[in-house]
Amino acid sequence: MTSMKESSNRNAVRPPGGGFLEGIKVLDVTYYLPGPYSSYRLAEMGADVTKVEPPGGEPARRLAGGLIHEMKNAGKTILELDLKSDEGRAWMKDLVRETDVLIESFRPGTLERLGFGEDELFSLNPGLIYCSMTGYGLEGEFAKAGSHDLNYLALSGVLSQLTDESGRPVQPKNTLADFAGGHFVAEAVLAALVRKMKSGEGARLDVSITDGLTHWQSVHKAFEEAGLSDRGVPDLDGSRARYAIYPTADGRYVALGALEDKFWHAFCDFAGHPEWKKRDDVHEDVARYFGSEPLSHWLDISLRTDFCLTPVLRPGEIDEHPHWKKG
Q: How far apart (Å, rounded) are the C-alpha atoms in residues 42 and 13?
A: 15
Q: Are 17 and 46 in contact (CB under 8 A)?
A: yes
Give yes or no: 148 in active site: yes
Strand 77-81 to 203-208 pairing: unpaired
Q: How far apart (Å, rounded) are the C-alpha atoms in residues 303 and 294?
A: 15
HEC string of 228-288 equals CCCCCCHHHCCCCCCEEEEECCCCCEEEEECCCHHHHHHHHHHHCCHHHCCCCCCHHHHHH
Q: Give the burial string for 34-65 (b: 16+ CB within 10 Å, else e).
A: bbbbbbbbbbbbbbbbbbbbbbebbebbeeee
Active-site position among 28, 100, 149, 178: 178
Strand 203-208 to 129-134 pairing: parallel
Contacts with 298 (C-beta within 8 Å, 6 or more apart), sequence order: 248, 254, 290, 309, 311
Active-site position among 148, 273, 283, 297: 148
| Closest listed residue to residue 178, CA positions, set 198, 205, 158 | 158
Contacts with 53 (C-beta within 8 Å, 6 or more apart), sequence order: 31, 78, 79, 80, 81
Burial (CB count <10 Å: 0-12, 13-18, 19+), residue 311? buried
Give yes or no: 250 in active site: no
Could you give the residue numbers annotated as active site? 148, 178
